[in-house]
Amino acid sequence: MNRTTFTNRFLVMLFVSTVLFSKAQTDSIQVVFHVLHHGGVENIADSQIVDAIRILNEDYNKLNADTADVVAPFKSIIGNANIQFKLASTDPQGNPTTGIDRIYTSYITAPIADSFYLNQWNPAKYLNVWTIKQGVVNPPATLLPASADSFPERDGIVMGHSFIGSIGTSKPFNSRALTQEVGRYLNLLHTWGNGNPNITCGDDSVSDTPITKGSNLSCNLNLSECTNGVIENVQNFMDYSYCSRMFTVGQAARMNACLNSSVANRDKLRSTQTSISSSLDNAFKLSVMPNPFSNAVRVSGLAEGSYRVAVFDVMGQQLVNLNNVNTVGQSLYLELSDISARGIYILSVSNNKFTGSLRLLKE
Q: Cα separation of 192 and 215, whole Å? A: 7
Residue 55 is predicted with a pLDDT of: 96
Q: Do domains 28-251 and 277-362 have the same CATH topology?
A: no
pLDDT less than 70: residues of the chain: 1-27, 109-113, 136-137, 195-197, 272-285, 314-316, 352, 355
In tens, the pLDDT along 303-323 reads: 888 988 988 876 567 789 898
Question: What pLDDT was estimated at residue 194?
Answer: 80
Q: Are 339 and 362 in contact (CB under 8 A)?
A: yes
Output the pLDDT for position 58: 95
Contact 195, 202 (CB under 8 A): yes
pLDDT score, position 279? 37
Residue 224 and residue 216: Cα distance in Å, rounded? Answer: 12
What CATH topology corresponds to 28-251? Collagenase (Catalytic Domain) (3.40.390)
What topology is assigned to 277-362 in CATH? Immunoglobulin-like (2.60.40)
pLDDT computed for residue 274 by the predictor = 35
Task: Quote the pLDDT of residue 26.
Answer: 55
pLDDT of 257 reads 93
The set of catalytic residues is 181
Q: Is 287 exposed, middle or buried (CB count within 10 Å of its CB: 0-12, 13-18, 19+)?
A: middle
Q: How far, in Å, are 111, 129, 146, 157, 259 from residue 142 at the CA level?
A: 17, 10, 11, 5, 16
How is the chain split into domains, by residue range?
Answer: 28-251, 277-362
